[in-house]
Amino acid sequence: MQDTLLWSRILTSLTLGFHIIFATIGVGVPVMIMIAEWLGIRRNDPHYMLLARRWSRGFTVTVAVGVVTGTCIGLQLSLLWPSFMQIAGQVIALPLFMETFAFFFEAIFLGIYLYTWDRFKNRWLHWAFIIPVVIGSSASAFFITTVNAFMNAPQGFTLENGVITHIEPLKAMFNPATPTKVSHVLSSAFMTSAAILAAVTAWLILRGRRTEYYKKALRLTVLWTFVFGVGTALIGDLSGKYLAEYQPEKLAAAEWHFETKEHADLLVGGVLDEKNQQVKGALPLPGMLSFLAHSDFNAKVTGLNEFPKDVWPPLFVHYLFDLMVGVGVYAVAISLLFLVIRIWNKSQEWNSWLLRLIVLGGPLSVIGIELGWMFAEIGRQPWILRGYMRTSQGVTTSSDVGAMLILFALLYLVLGVVCIYVLLRMTKKNPPEAEMQKRGITL
Amino acid sequence: MSIELLGITILWLFLLGYVIVASIDFGAGFFALYGKWTGTGEIVNQVIQRYLSPVWEVTNVFLIFFVVGIVGFFPDTAYYYGTALLVPASIALVLLAIRGSFYAFDHYGKTNTVFLFLYGFTGLLIPASLATVLTISIGGFVEKQGNNVVLLMGKLFASPYSWSVVFLALVSVLFISASFLTYYANRAQDKQAEELLRTWAVFWSFPTIFASFLVFLSLRNHNLEFFNNMLDVSWLFILSFAFFLCAVSLLIRKKSYGLAFIFVMLQFASAFFGYGIGHMPYLLYPYVTIYSGVNNPIMAEALVWAFVGGLCLLVPSLYLLMRLFLFNAGYVQGRK
Ligand code: HDD
Ligand code: HEM
Ligand code: HEM
């Protein structure tokens, strides 16, 4: 029984952790495509048009993996957590159901967009077809994230003797966690996608491709990494304020903040002595936790000791939180550095160290997404539905979860490897230079 | 109509949609593989690629819609099916994942015989494994043991009924798919492909009707209640057979393939609804009925409204997709 719980948790995290990479790309890259094609038409610049075209081609491959892994998680929720879905399904089915419409909408218009390049005289008409794709993918992220928000801050129903009554679907969907969660998920997806595209461009430049096309691509992607990065950090700050109000135990666990007090410090890194609740070697930022929680350096922040020990989240979430924030700081700092250098000292724009740092930003952002989700989900433990249902109560009674874990691990391994192989082959076989020549674009 | 009945009707309609669209998709993948094998590849493949490319992603959503919808409307199904089906559903998922992703890899990325083999072949296994869920729903294969719900695998594999359903699923996929592609090849004015696909359609039509009878008859031994329910609406099955005869006669006489395909769809639709009505009110015999799940009409109502809103968005978009690709003569003939 205990094993089933463990395997189910691992399988769920594996599927979600794999899906989220492709989901993030699926939400963010259409936005970048939209921006690039817009610039291309606006400035009548074939380079931007080519960027949009090439990005969208790679995008189709990642979308495919996103769709199939999403299908996996959609079914696995019922397979691994049947009791949870039986209860939660009654209250939160609405956004899950609407999400499928968003997918439908996105899938239809993505098909149209991909196959109608050069089909219309008016190029804005083709551009217009990416807009429903952007709306569809952001809407699906919105809907699914409200479900997750509901797990963190359930409302909109009454539970009496195991029977659910007084259901208000809209109230359940628009719970207190929804605003910050949705906006943070969206902005971090936009940032990560821009950072990945910037990393790919910088990598190609490092390998000696130095034409105007790459220059434009790099400036565009780094600029947007910066914009979305700042947005992500600001919204992350709001997420902290949400936690302080509705899930104080999660915030306290993230900061190893045991005693309720005013003017609380934010701790960076460090090692915890759990018995004595002592932290060693951490860098304290005076009053910053109070600010993160309540926008006031002197405000009072609730500590973990206010809560019974059996509802404490695992305390290692501290590191997950710190690393996630670290990724945000890194992405904003590096992209700002690039922008500043571009304005002040153009000759250093191609500085190979700067390019290397940008390359690193791509994988780091993906790791940031993973860490953020691990923090949010593990920080919710032991609850699957905070305050109502423990994770151990939601799990399946089947004894075959271990074998399924191996099966899916193999599947994701194959999908991941083949996906990367196919993407590499695509650029190798049809490099931008060849395509520019074919289309008569000056390099 | 009660809200429960409305809900299951909507979902059943979507499942029918999935059966048709996915059959075309799966069958096409198999024909592409077969074509490559026997060297007839070039002809059929071009037709198939042009159809499949813009629509493949839409197919999958039909399935998701059904799953999410049934859990939403009837949460008890999540508990029973979820617990019982962990292993078979996981295997079906892996197949679906391989099929979808390798199709995209092959098509958008890099053409590769292994990829083609993977998606062509899994396309046949998926309908077989999904059809098994329908088998299970008629009861006798799932048992509640204390707190646990178990699937009786041995019984499932030994049951002739279960195998006849699998057989029906396979031949239906090939029949539906070949009859659609015949029509499509005709629109594309690809005479050679048209002739080949037409022969396939005719070839697979008789096993289809044979398998249908087989399933119908073996159901009698398995669940007499459902069988009698179905006899009550036997006019639907007679209608279905009539549609089948119309479709096949058109195909044999090489006439109006579009109409022939419409008859094929009607044939499946009437049989599908006949079967569905026979099944009512059970979702999983004898544990879950459509009434035991919904104890909250509020959510069901919200879902129906969401559905209406969603359709208002989707129908025009689907219309646009079809206008631009499926029924656009220029595109079909490869000029665009
Ligand atoms: C690259 C991605 C990324 C980056 C740079 C950041 N985050 Fe984040 N964070 C996420 C990606 C993410 C996420 C994956 O989107 C999470 C997981 C669940 C969620 O709602 O969003 C998240 C959750 C999350 C939560 C928990 C919300 C909850 O459990 O409801 C907080 C408090 C923050 N973040 C705060 C921040 C702060 C103060 C950042 C400052 C830079 C920051 N995040 C950067
Ligand atoms: C529909 C929304 C979601 C549901 C129903 C859901 C459900 C669950 C469940 C049941 C678990 C297992 C309990 C646990 O081990 O913590 C879990 C864990 C996890 N989920 Fe969520 N989740 C949702 C959204 C997400 C999303 C969008 C992500 C992003 C990728 C995510 C990431 C994770 C991770 C990383 C874990 C592992 C945590 C751990 O090991 O404890 N979840 N989720
Ligand atoms: C915040 C986290 C998530 C985001 C941003 C996200 C977004 C996406 C995106 C963009 C796709 C690709 C769809 C397409 O391009 O057509 C996708 C697929 C899918 N996702 Fe996720 N997803 C998230 C988490 C989840 C979770 C937790 C579930 C489970 C309930 C889920 C269920 C699905 C399903 C079922 C699909 C396949 C849809 C199809 O067949 O087209 N997603 N998701």
Q: What percent of chain A has pLDDT over 70?
A: 98
Of A418 and A430, the structure prediction assigns the larger pLDDT to A418
- Cα of A9 vs centre of ligand 2, distance in Å, is 8
The mean per-residue pLDDT over the stretch A168-185 comes to: 88
pLDDT of A420 above 80: yes
What average pLDDT does the structure give for chain A? 84
Q: Report which of residues A180 and B253 the model is more confident about.
A: A180
**A132–chain B nearest CA distance, Å:** 10
The answer on pLDDT for A186 being more than 90 is: yes
- pLDDT at res. B40: 67
Residue A116 binned pLDDT confidence (cut-offs 50, 70, 90): confident
ipTM of the complex in this document: 0.78
List of chain A residues whose C-beta atoms are within 8 Å of the C-beta of residue B75: 85-87, 89-90, 93
Predicted TM-score of the model (pTM)? 0.85
| Residue B328: strand, helix, or coil | coil
Q: A397 — phi, psi (to 5°)?
A: -100, 0
Which residues does residue B144 pair with via DSSP β-bridges, in sequence order?
Answer: B149
Task: Supply angle C-alpha B164, B260, B209, rounded to 5.
Answer: 20
Statement: residue A443 has pLDDT above 70: no
pLDDT at A320 over 70: yes
Candidates A22, A72, A75, A96: best to mutate against B (most CBs of B within 10 A) is A75
Alpha-carbon distance A186 to A192, whole Å? 10
Report which bound ligand comes closest to the CA of A72: 3
Q: How far apart are CA B264 and CA B180, in angstroms?
A: 9
Q: Which of B68, B78, B147 lies closest to A100 in CB terms?
A: B68
Instruction: For ligand 3, atom 38, name the residue with the nearest CA.
Output: A67
Q: Do B314 and A68 touch (CB under 8 A)?
A: no
Burial environment of residue A186 by CB neighbours within 10 A (0 to 12, 13 to 18, 19 or more): buried
- Asked whether A17 lines ligand 2 (CB < 6 A), one says yes
With CA atoms as reference, report the closest residue to A227 among A336, A308, A318, A327. Answer: A336
Please give the residue of chain B at the shortest CA–CA distance from A119.
B336
Structure token pair of residue A101: 């419409």
For ligand 2, whether the C-beta of A147 sits within 6 Å is yes
A337 Cβ neighbours under 8 A, 6+ residues apart: A354, A357
Q: Tens digit of pLDDT for each residue in B213-258?
A: 888 777 777 777 777 777 787 888 888 888 888 888 888 887 787 8
**Given this model, what pLDDT does residue B52 score?**
62
> CA B48 to CA B180: how far, in whole Å?
10
What is the pLDDT, as a whole number, of residue A199?
A: 92
CB contact under 8 A, B93 and A72: yes
Which comes out higher in pLDDT, residue A133 or B80?
A: A133
Residue of B nearest to A424 (CA): B109
Q: Is A381 in the pocket of ligand 2 (CB under 6 A)?
A: yes
**Low pLDDT (below 70) residues in chain B:** 1, 40-44, 47, 50-57, 108-111, 293-296, 325-336
pLDDT category at A400 given cuts 50, 70, 90 is confident
φ/ψ bin of B252: left (φ > 0), alpha (ψ from -120 to 50), beta (otherwise): alpha
Kindly give the distance from the C-alpha atom of residue A376 to the centroid of ligand 1, in angstroms, as a whole number. 8
pLDDT at A355 over 80: yes
List CB contacts (< 8 A) between A116 and chain B.
324
| Whether pLDDT at A226 is above 90 | yes
pLDDT at B195: 83
What average pLDDT does this structure show over A394-399? 74
Interval A115-144 mean pLDDT: 87
Rounded mean pLDDT, A34-58: 88
Is A81 a pocket residue for ligand 2 (Cβ < 6 Å)? yes
Buried b / exposed e along A79-106 (16+ C-beta atoms within 10 A): bbbbbbbbbbbbbbbbbbbbbbbbbbbb
A vs B: CB pairs below 8 A: 215
Name, in order, each residue with C-beta under 8 angstroms of A406's C-beta and a sequence gap of 6 or more: none
**Residue of A19, A239, A301, A320 with the most ligand 1 atoms within 8 Å of its CB, for mutation:** A239
* A69 Cα to the center of ligand 3, angstroms: 8
Yes or no: say if A172 and A154 are a contact pair by the CB < 8 Å rule: yes
Residue B298: the pLDDT is 77
Separation of CA A16 and ligand 1 centre (Å): 16
Residues B136 and B142: their CA atoms lie apart, in Å, by: 7
- Tokens representing A384? 């699957």
CA nearest to A264, candidates A287, A243, A245, A248: A287
**Tell me, what's the pLDDT at B109?**
62
Cα–Cα dist A177/A92, whole Å: 14
Q: Distance between CA A147 and CA A43 in Å, rounded?
A: 41
Q: Is the pLDDT of residue A2 over 60?
A: no
Query: Is A153 within 8 Å of A246 (Cβ atoms)?
Result: yes
Band of residue A24 on the pLDDT scale cut at 50, 70, 90? very high
DSSP of B217-254:
HHHHHH-HHHHHHHHHTHHHHHHHHHHHHHHHHHHHTT
Give the per-residue pLDDT at A131. Answer: 92
- Ligand with an atom nearest the CA of residue A148: 2
Give the span between the Cα atoms of B237 and B271, in whole angstroms.
Answer: 5
CA A236 / ligand 1 centre spacing (Å):
5
